[in-house]
């Protein structure tokens, strides 16, 4: 049987550390002992933020089952889903989405989880997010096509209508405009991921 120090500060510290390190048993024991599942650190991150950013989906499940706020935002307005997408933890992304995480939520820079997953080249996360109807028609989604330190000349802009003169692909009412080279996403392209999810018959060359 585990024994814990019964001060709120100690419980907070222990719970955040257990979530960060992926110890679902310790997390469960601390919560049963009265720890606040939605406690926050100095950067306003909750145990769920830490478990999600490190890909501990079992710990994520324990926290969610115990009432963790799935859309809690830290000082950058990032949710646990943002952090899971940034770090490429597709199983955690899936767990969060199944439990009500907002796929459309934007952070302080107006970025969505899909934008981060695409920019970081996390193709599995991109697939999961698209299956949950992540918005590919986000007017703010101008991607800086960075991947593994390489500077790609091609910049993909997801916007209704797209920039004038850019070849455009209509995808179920959204428009994917690609200038120059395609945006590399983990050895594939965002377009390829969209094609996988929606089917090639849903992607047509825009005559305009």
Residue 155: pLDDT above 60? no
Q: What is the pLDDT of residue 9?
A: 80
Contacting residues for 161 by C-beta, under 8 A, at least 6 apart: 168, 175
Mean pLDDT, residues 99-111: 94
- Confidence band of 186 (pLDDT split at 50, 70, 90): very low
Q: What is the pLDDT of residue 193?
A: 61
Could you tell me what percent of the chain has a pLDDT over 90? 48
Residue 3: pLDDT above 50? no
Q: What is the pLDDT of residue 194?
A: 60
Summarize pLDDT for 33-59 with one digit per residue, the tens.
999 999 999 999 999 999 999 999 999
This prediction's pTM: 0.71
The angle formed by the CA atoms of residues 65, 40 and 128, to the nearest 5 degrees, is 50
CATH numbers and ranges of domains, the chain: 1-135 (1.25.40.20), 137-208 (no CATH)
Residue 180: pLDDT above 90? no
Summarize pLDDT for 133-143 with one digit per residue, the tens.
755 555 444 44
Tokens describing residue 112 = 């969505």
Summarize pLDDT for 61-73 with one digit per residue, the tens.
999 999 999 999 9
- Confidence band of 191 (pLDDT split at 50, 70, 90): low
């Amino acid at each position: 049987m585990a024994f814990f120090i019964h001060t709120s500060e100690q419980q907070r510290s222990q719970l955040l550390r257990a979530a960060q390190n992926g110890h679902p048993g310790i997390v469960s024991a601390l919560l049963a002992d009265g720890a606040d599942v939605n406690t926050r650190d100095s950067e306003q991150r909750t145990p769920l933020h830490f478990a999600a950013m490190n890909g501990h989906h079992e710990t994520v499940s324990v926290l969610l089952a115990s009432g963790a706020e799935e859309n809690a935002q830290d000082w950058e307005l990032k949710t646990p889903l943002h952090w899971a997408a940034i770090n490429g933890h597709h199983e955690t992304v899936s767990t969060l989405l199944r439990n009500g995480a907002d796929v459309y939520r934007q952070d302080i820079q107006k970025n969505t989880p899909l934008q981060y997953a695409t920019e970081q080249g996390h193709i599995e996360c991109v697939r999961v997010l698209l299956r949950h109807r992540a918005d590919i028609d986000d007017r703010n989604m101008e991607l800086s096509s960075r991947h593994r330190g390489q500077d790609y000349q091609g910049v993909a802009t997801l916007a209704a209508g797209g920039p004038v003169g850019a070849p455009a692909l209509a995808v179920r009412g959204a428009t994917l405009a690609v200038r120059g080279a395609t945006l590399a996403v983990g050895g594939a392209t965002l377009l390829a991921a969209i094609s996988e999810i929606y089917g090639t018959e849903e992607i047509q060359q825009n005559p305009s």
